[in-house]
Chain A
Amino acid sequence: MTERSVRIASAVLASLGAAISAYILYVRETNGSLVCSTGGCETVQSSSYAELLGLPVAALGLAGFVVLLVAALTRGELARLVNATVALAAFLFAAYLLAVQLVVLDAICQWCVATDVLTTALAALALVRLGPASSGRWAP
């Protein structure tokens, strides 16, 4: 897998994640209802876990996906490192939020799970991009 294809795939996934986060944020700010086939979206979104330091977690997710999108569109070592750091942090935090849904809230939000899947894929791509197979900047 070339770095270019990894970056393109990352950009697509980050765009999808940003769109989902923006949708959740929009519904929250307009007091609307999420389209939800799992039945637990409202429970999750109205819980105290849907806010972090006074900000909606969806806003944090949107910011994270935008950073990942910019990092995917940017070449160079710094972009690779930022991409990997943010993607891995997002993956770990997403795992925690998924555990909260399953164990604490006993409710599943399909949109949150979708972003969890995207975050996992982005973390995997970030590791591939960070590795020797695509960086092309190492020498024996």
Chain B
Amino acid sequence: MRWRTDRRLRLAAVLCTAAALAGGLVAASVLGAREGSAPVSAAAPEPEPSLFAGIEQRGTALGSPAAPVTLVEYADLQCPYCAQWARDALPTLVDDYVRAGKLRIVFHGLAFIGPDSNKALRTAVAAGRKNHLWDVVHGLYVSQGAENTGWVNDTLVRDIAGGVPGLEPDELLSTRWEKTIDPELERFAAAAKAAGVNGTPAFQVGPTGGRLERVEVASLGPEGIVPAIDAALAR
């Protein structure tokens, strides 16, 4: 019977050591995940597609192509200041200028903060293929999580896309990884470089189809950008 006892002891020793090893790994993983982040979004706040209801979206542009003034926004979808600008300034611009046909806003996305920036931007560009980029961009801003914690997860994308008529969540999730998205991202990066953008959010304002000028905003509320738009409209 000695072999049975030996075997049991051996098995118990192996099981205890394995459990201790696995327990250590799990504890390190849980602590690391807590340190690194806010919780991953399980239920995204309701996006606000109604902000753009009735406004023409085409590719990366919001508003009528005939609007006399164009505002280009350079932004990283993980950038908290960009999200603040989208919450504080954008609704006023949309209601007072875009709906009135005076302003067209073009989104140029950058992805320098990390992997979630890339995922978010690719998702937005994929939505732009269906002329819903702005719905997705705004949905991502209002649901923005801590940097690079995996917050741009499939559940969030499904939640946002599910609230936008005309967007199919599954199609969006697969389209965003297509190679055909890459040239668009390269175009954004080239435009940002040409405009001398070295931080976000950054803006250019000018006549539609004409020369755009960089605008340094003093605040992230509407008062930071409205004077430049008014000046362009007055020209």
Contacts and interface: CB of A to CB of B under 8 A. Distances in A.
Given A46-B119, A52-B32, A93-B25, A88 B18 contact: yes
Contact of A81 (B2, B6, B14, B21): B14
A136 B179 CA distance: 56
A130 B7 CA distance: 8
Contact of A88 (B15, B37, B152): B15
12 contacts: A39-B154, A46-B114, A48-B33, A52-B25, A57-B29, A89-B22, A91-B22, A96-B29, A104-B40, A105-B150, A106-B153, A139-B2
A46 B10 contact: no
Interface residues of B, number: 41
Q: Of B7, B13, B115, which is in contact with the most chain A CB atoms at under 10 Å from its CB?
A: B115
**For chain B, what secondary structure do more than half of its interface residues adopt (helix, strand, loop), or is it mixed?**
helix
Contact of B17 (A36, A85, A104): A85
Interface in A10-49: 33, 36, 39-40, 42-49
Given A46-B115, A47-B149, A96-B22, 8 more contacts: A48-B32, A48-B33, A49-B150, A51-B32, A52-B32, A89-B19, A97-B29, A130-B14
Interface centre among A46, A91, A104, A140 (most CB of B within 10 A): A46
Contact of A92 (B2, B18, B177): B18
Contacts of A57: 29
B174 interface: yes
B15 A49 contact: no
Contacts of A48: 32-33, 36-37, 148-150
B10 A47 contact: no
A43 B116 CA distance: 8
Contact of B153 (A43, A53, A88, A130): A43
Contact of B26 (A43, A51, A93): A93
A91 B15 CA distance: 11
Nearest to B173: A39
Interface string A65-94: 000000000000000010011111111110
A53, A81, A89, A97: most-surrounded residue (chain B CB, <10 A): A89
B161 to A, nearest CB: 13
A97 B32 CA distance: 13
